[in-house]
Homo-oligomer: A and B are copies of this chain.
Amino acid sequence: MAVQKKHAKGSVRPASPGGRFTDARVPDPAIRSLFDEKNRWQRWLDVEAALAAAEADVGVVPRKAAKAIAQAASMKRLDADRIRAGIAATSHPLMALITELSNEVGEPHGGWVHWGATTQNIIQTGFVLVLREVHTRLLDLLGQVFAALGDLADRGAYMACAGRTHGQHAVPITFGLKAAAWIDELSRHADRLGEVEKRVFTALMGGAVGNFESFGGKGIAIQAGVARRLGLLPMAVPLRSISDSFAEYTCILGLLAATGGKIAAEIYTLMKTEYGEAGEPLPEGTIGSSTMPHKRNPQLAQDCMTISAQIRALAPLAMEGMMHDHEVNGANFEMTLDAVERSCILTGDMLARLNIILSGLELNPQRMRANLDLTGGLITSEAVMLELGQSIGRQEAHDVVYKAAQTAARGKMTFSEALCADPHVTSHLDRAAIKRLLDPSTKTGLSVSLSRTGARRARKLAGLLTSPKRRS
């Protein structure tokens, strides 16, 4: 009966559908709830209030009516249960909310609620408002990841470890360079998320087919007013079939997920028994729960790998969603919304986990060093060759080093011994020089500098992304 405890945590399904076994360990990224009924309804009300105000600006709706609507447009004043009942009765997502709002506004202004608008205008623009909240939250989470990575790049700046290409030891680096590379990729994702804002945070107020017909010639001004009041940009062509920016958003999250999955997989690999160079933090007590205390399952890294695949799989759905026929096809719009919502929620889950992993990542420089020595100095053969080349010429240096390397590869002696046994070498380099040249910790190029630069960059980004201004 003991066995079952061992591997359970990383490999089983959560009790609640959509949840994960590790959820209790991870602070709620608070994305899911932003898509909830209550928040969505409030954003719809915000759009209705902005619409009335914008219509008042151009004389379509009385100013007093717009004010009354603005005051009533709060879920604190409306009856959620009655709205729910109304939705069930009408099989319509918005009508009941409008009725409730109209009643709350009362006579004589209630009739001006939703004047000239199409349901979709409210719902899509409201969705954009929700997405903007989600976006701010995602940037904040990303900022926390940058902060963790900044510390990590500094912590690992001087820890020499093997640089590996195609799975094979190549040339030494320091651990901080890995963090710097992650910071570099993530910084571009932050740029992308910044650049997309002007495209995705837009108000749609063009009526059923985007030609403003129902606003009597004042549609462009009304849409502009709605957008301005909500801090959005107006859509140049407010057609409901246009959803490229939502798809782009999903793609950017897909790219971010690829980086997140790559980071998690690297840590998963470095945690392997054969590597032992890094360790995902484990909460107190977790170690004690198993009969195999050497076993530290990389639960959160695994979560990130799973989530990464889930997010990346949504990009094609978002792209297919773009392909409306005519002026709108609800089937496509649903594909888009599903892709956006799901990718946002999953990205929140991934970033929250990455934050825990990276801010608490245990580094094991002893093990890094031990691994560096696995090739018996071959990892720095290039340095020996270059030094020797100063004396005997590049080509001969290559041949001499190559011969020593092959001797070492045959296992007869170490690379160091082979070099010391070759007079072509020893006539130019003494043992101490050879030893110094074979020390991988001194052959890491600009790894330290790149780590430090990365750390500064990460801290700066952390500050920008989590600033109160950003959040508001």
Whether B167 and A445, one on each chain, are in contact in the complex, defined by CB atoms closer than 8 angstroms, is no
A369 to chain B, nearest CB (A): 13
Which segment of A132-140, A232-240, A462-470 sits at the interface?
A232-240
Whether B329 and A302, one on each chain, are in contact in the complex, defined by CB atoms closer than 8 angstroms, is yes
Whether B5 and A374, one on each chain, are in contact in the complex, defined by CB atoms closer than 8 angstroms, is no
Q: Which residues of B contact A248 (CB under 8 A)?
A: 188, 192, 251, 255
Whether A7 and B118, one on each chain, are in contact in the complex, defined by CB atoms closer than 8 angstroms, is yes
> In whole angstroms, what is the CA distance A261 to B335 when docked?
13
Q: Which residues of B contact A207 (CB under 8 A)?
A: 3, 171, 445
Whether B209 and A173, one on each chain, are in contact in the complex, defined by CB atoms closer than 8 angstroms, is yes
Q: Which residues of B contact A327 (CB under 8 A)?
A: 163-165, 170, 173
* Main SS at interface, chain A: helix
Whether A3 and B214, one on each chain, are in contact in the complex, defined by CB atoms closer than 8 angstroms, is yes
Chain A to chain B contacts (Cβ below 8 Å), 6 pairs: A5-B95, A8-B94, A170-B209, A219-B445, A293-B402, A293-B409
> In whole angstroms, what is the CA distance A86 to B266 when docked?
33
Whether B2 and A177, one on each chain, are in contact in the complex, defined by CB atoms closer than 8 angstroms, is no
Whether B1 and A114, one on each chain, are in contact in the complex, defined by CB atoms closer than 8 angstroms, is yes
> In whole angstroms, what is the CA distance A331 to B306 when docked?
5
> In whole angstroms, what is the CA distance A378 to B294 when docked?
7
Please name the residue on chain B nearest to A121 by beta carbon.
B4
A120 within 8 Å of B by Cβ? yes
A296 within 8 Å of B by Cβ? yes
Whether A7 and B123, one on each chain, are in contact in the complex, defined by CB atoms closer than 8 angstroms, is no
Interface residues on A, range: 35 or more
Which of B11, B181, B323 is close to A120, meaning CB atoms less than 8 Å apart? B11
Whether A169 and B237, one on each chain, are in contact in the complex, defined by CB atoms closer than 8 angstroms, is no
Whether B316 and A405, one on each chain, are in contact in the complex, defined by CB atoms closer than 8 angstroms, is no
Which segment of A12-20, A67-75, A143-151 sits at the interface?
A12-20
> In whole angstroms, what is the CA distance A410 to B426 when docked?
43
Q: Which residues of B contact A201 (CB under 8 A)?
A: none
Q: Which residues of B contact A81 (CB under 8 A)?
A: none
Shortest Cβ-Cβ A-B pairs, 5 listed: A213-B445, A211-B445, A163-B209, A10-B330, A11-B330
**Bitwise interface map of A from 306 to 338 toward B, beta carbon under 8 Å scored 1, else 0:** 101110111111011111111111111111011
A227 within 8 Å of B by Cβ? no
Please name the residue on chain B nearest to A7 by beta carbon.
B165
A24 within 8 Å of B by Cβ? yes
Q: Which residues of B contact A197 (CB under 8 A)?
A: none
> In whole angstroms, what is the CA distance A294 to B371 when docked?
14
Please name the residue on chain B nearest to A371 by beta carbon.
B274
Q: Which residues of B contact A450 (CB under 8 A)?
A: 210-211, 237
Whether A120 and B12, one on each chain, are in contact in the complex, defined by CB atoms closer than 8 angstroms, is yes
> In whole angstroms, what is the CA distance A122 to B5 when docked?
12
Whether A3 and B445, one on each chain, are in contact in the complex, defined by CB atoms closer than 8 angstroms, is no
A93 within 8 Å of B by Cβ? yes
A59 to chain B, nearest CB (A): 16
Please name the residue on chain B nearest to A327 by beta carbon.
B163
> In whole angstroms, what is the CA distance A269 to B268 when docked?
13
Interface residues of A in 208-224 (CB under 8 A from B): 208-214, 217, 219-220
Q: Given A164-B273, A293-B405, A309-B320, are A7 and B446 neighbors across the interface (CB < 8 Å)? A: no
Whether B15 and A87, one on each chain, are in contact in the complex, defined by CB atoms closer than 8 angstroms, is yes
Whether B251 and A3, one on each chain, are in contact in the complex, defined by CB atoms closer than 8 angstroms, is no
Q: Given A171-B213, A291-B401, are A7 and B166 neighbors across the interface (CB < 8 Å)? A: yes
Q: Which residues of B contact A119 (CB under 8 A)?
A: 3-8, 11-12
Whether B325 and A265, one on each chain, are in contact in the complex, defined by CB atoms closer than 8 angstroms, is yes
